[in-house]
Amino acid sequence: MRILIVDDEPAMHDSYRQCFAPPPAGAEALGAMAAELFGDESEPAEPAPAFACDHHMQGLDAVAAVEASLRSGERYSVAFLDVRMPPGIDGKETARRIRALDPDINLVIVTGFSDHSPLDISRAAGPADKIFYIAKPFQAEEVLQTATALARRWTLDLELKNAIALLEEQKLELAANESRAVHVANHDSLTDAPNRLAFLHALGQSVKGTHCFAMAMMDLDRFKLVNDTLGHLAGDELIRMVCEILQAGIPGDGFVARLGGDEFALLMPVEGEDDAAMQCERLLKAVSTSFKVFGHSVQGGASLGLIVVEPGSIGDPIDVMRRADLALNEAKRQGRGCVRVFDESMDESIRFRRQIETGLSEAIAKGELKLVFQPIVGRDLDITGFEALIRWCSPEYGMVPPAMFIPIAEESQLIHELGDWVIDEAIVALKTWPGQYVSVNFSPRQFRRQNFVAHVVERVTSAGVDPGRFQIEITETAIFDNVERAAEILFKLRQMGFRIALDDFGTGYSSLYNIRRFALDCLKIDRSFVDGMGRERESAAIVHSVIHLGRALGMEVVAEGVETDTQLQALRLAGCSHMQGYFLSRPIDAEDAQMLAERGTLLGRSEAETQLEAAACGTHG
């Protein structure tokens, strides 16, 4: 430990040297003999640190020494300062300058008489907890004990400061990673324009708004010919050029997104159908020009489908998008290079959707619905839980995909009746398992139910099931529509003992602040990121970021959609705590789930067996 001693009297420096002189040879042996002779069994005192003392007669020399110590990295832990040091600067000014250079050093004012009060010195060279006083004449033990205590304190303070700095650095790095991950998740890598996910969010906001707006879908005409004749790099460049034209030509409050391939989506406030058609015709004309792509002349062109939405007329953003896509298909059928506005005659699926809605309302009573269960496994393939997935086998339509009938149930309020049936059936299966939990998906409309907490609690507890074995899966969309209400609901559910999982994490608009305030047990990584791990650096970065975030917050992280051994091993190496997917097991019937739960592990299941099961199932749940 380095000690700085500043005093204008040579005799004082001799006193300091005696204070910090090493103990005489044999002192330790004499002490041990005395302890044995007199029976002193007390614990030996912690040895004092070795001090290297630098002596200076004047304050300016001391300030220069501190500057040099900071440059070399061999800093002083304690400085003993006299107050009166004529000529030159006095102890107060010396202390002030030293403190300005090194905020961590401990200052000991050693004086018999001072022109300055302790308060004056503290104001000049504070903080007060780093300034100490010793009166002259002093005892050697007093100086040595003070130096020892302050040197140890200085070491601990620096260790704490470094630890805090490291935590702050990690916090900033985590925030930067989150920002990058959010940007990657919501922007197209080719054009840096908003992607499908970001567009759906903006469209959802417009649907909830109180102003008329237009949504358009646009495809480039004969784009495949550009790729086939000039190559995909030329096609990519053409897409970037078209995107720039659209972004420059969209009205100030408009929104342009690239959905994928040569497909773009547009949102813009309009006064009515005529205004929307005029805006779209102008944009279509802007991209129907000759482009210079890598020295080649390419004639641009596009087709555009348009729908105008009055406030409150359509409640589902997906339905708005679907209708715009139907209008785009009509524009293509009519020769391309034109704008077509949606009308009901284009929507052949409306009748089918109504038939599905009618059939779904009777499906529960007729026994056409069933639950299947997909295992959720740990790193060692032990089964910790099952996700309950609904299937509908209709005598009229065959197997109806959940992605089709769940949105219809949402729109028609059937989702509550359907959700209650799922809870009851999941509990029946859960009771046959030795200890695993069941994870049940809840839609945004269910989550917004007025008495959601009471309804779920009553249904689960009345069945005699431990809430800790029932996991509620919700999406980011469900909880971030109303953050305050969501936080309150999740807190109540956690108080009752329920597990909470955030599904499809990374595809929405969550932030570290909101994730921290929600009562969550588990983050589920969306299958799209797992699927892209081996092909896209961005997807791998998002997966790793979510895993590290979950571990930092003490949550489980479940990677969905594991379909290859490569993905499984990559997730294990990344530290993912749990996985599920077709490579591990397809969704299985309740009877098979019971047998698998009783076995407790997937070990022993061959890869060929798992792949055959996946092929037999046909569609992912």
At residue 240, the pLDDT reads 95
Residue type, 181: A
Mean pLDDT throughout 52-68? 94
Give the whole-angstrom CA distance, residue 48 versus residue 152: 9
Predicted confidence (pLDDT) per residue in 568-601, tens digit: 999 999 999 999 999 999 999 999 999 999 999 9
Predicted confidence (pLDDT) per residue in 486-526, tens digit: 889 999 999 999 999 998 876 655 556 667 778 789 999 98
Across the chain, mean pLDDT equals 87
Prior bond of 127 cis (ω within 30°): yes
At residue 25, the pLDDT reads 57
Is the per-residue pLDDT at 612 higher than 50? no
Give bridge partners of residue 588 from the DSSP assignment: 373
Is the per-residue pLDDT at 16 higher than 80? yes
**Parallel, antiparallel, or unpaired: how do β-strands 470-475 and 499-505 relate?**
parallel
> Which tokens in the block code for residue 497?
């003992």
At residue 293, the pLDDT reads 92
The 3-class SS string of 378-408 reads: ECCCEEEEEEEEEEEEECCCEEECHHHHHHH
3-state secondary structure of 569: helix
Give the whole-angstrom CA distance, residue 590 versus residue 595: 9
Using alpha carbons, list the distances in angstroms from residue 355 to 320, 366, 406, 408. Answer: 20, 16, 14, 10
- Within 8 A by CB and 6+ apart from 384, the residues are 376, 377, 378, 436, 437, 578
DSSP symbol at 344: G
3-state secondary structure of 248: helix
Nearest CA to 595 out of 387, 371, 432, 389 is that of 432
Give the whole-angstrom CA distance, residue 216 versus residue 308: 9
Q: How confident is the model at residue 608 (pLDDT cuts 50, 70, 90)?
A: very low
Q: How confident is the model at residue 117 (pLDDT cuts 50, 70, 90)?
A: confident
Domain parsing of the chain, residue ranges = 2-160, 196-347
3-state secondary structure of 430: helix
At residue 268, the pLDDT reads 94
Q: What is the DSSP string of 96-165?
A: HHHHHH-TT-EEEEEESS-SS-HHHHHHHH--GGGEEEEESS--HHHHHHHHHHHHHHHHHHHHHHHHHH
Q: How confident is the model at residue 219 (pLDDT cuts 50, 70, 90)?
A: very high
Give the whole-angstrom CA distance, residue 242 versus residue 302: 10
| R_g over Cα of the chain | 36
At residue 28, the pLDDT reads 56
> Which tokens in the block code for residue 169?
């650095």
Give the DSSP H/E element, type plus range, for residue 10.
helix 10-19
- Within 8 A by CB and 6+ apart from 301, the residues are 220, 221, 222, 287, 288, 336, 337
The phi, psi pair for 437, rounded to 5°, reads -100, 160
The phi, psi pair for 267, rounded to 5°, reads -125, 140
At residue 532, the pLDDT reads 87
Q: Does domain 2-160 have CATH number 3.40.50.2300?
A: yes
Give bridge partners of residue 518 from the DSSP assignment: none
CA angle at 566 for the pair 560 and 568, rounded to the nearest 5°: 40
How many C-beta neighbours within 10 Å does residue 253 have? Answer: 10
Give the DSSP H/E element, type plus range, for residue 364.
none
Lowest mean pLDDT among 158-162, 164-168, 479-483, 608-612: 608-612
At residue 6, the pLDDT reads 93
3-state secondary structure of 352: helix
Predicted confidence (pLDDT) per residue in 243-293, tens digit: 999 999 998 889 999 998 999 999 999 999 999 999 999 999 999 999 999
At residue 174, the pLDDT reads 85
Predicted confidence (pLDDT) per residue in 180-216, tens digit: 888 888 899 899 999 999 999 999 999 999 999 999 9
Predicted confidence (pLDDT) per residue in 396-430, tens digit: 888 988 988 898 888 777 899 999 999 999 999 99
What is the CATH T-level fold of the domain 196-347, as seen in this structure? Answer: Alpha-Beta Plaits (3.30.70)
Give the whole-angstrom CA distance, residue 109 versus residue 200: 68
> Which tokens in the block code for residue 107?
């200052």
Mean pLDDT throughout 49-54? 88
Percent of the chain with pLDDT over 90: 54
Predicted confidence (pLDDT) per residue in 61-87, tens digit: 999 999 999 999 999 999 999 988 878
Give bridge partners of residue 218 from the DSSP assignment: 264, 304
Is the per-residue pLDDT at 46 higher than 80? no
Lowest mean pLDDT among 131-135, 347-351, 401-405, 460-464: 347-351
3-state secondary structure of 174: helix
Give the whole-angstrom CA distance, residue 605 versus residue 614: 13
Residue type, 387: E
3-state secondary structure of 595: helix
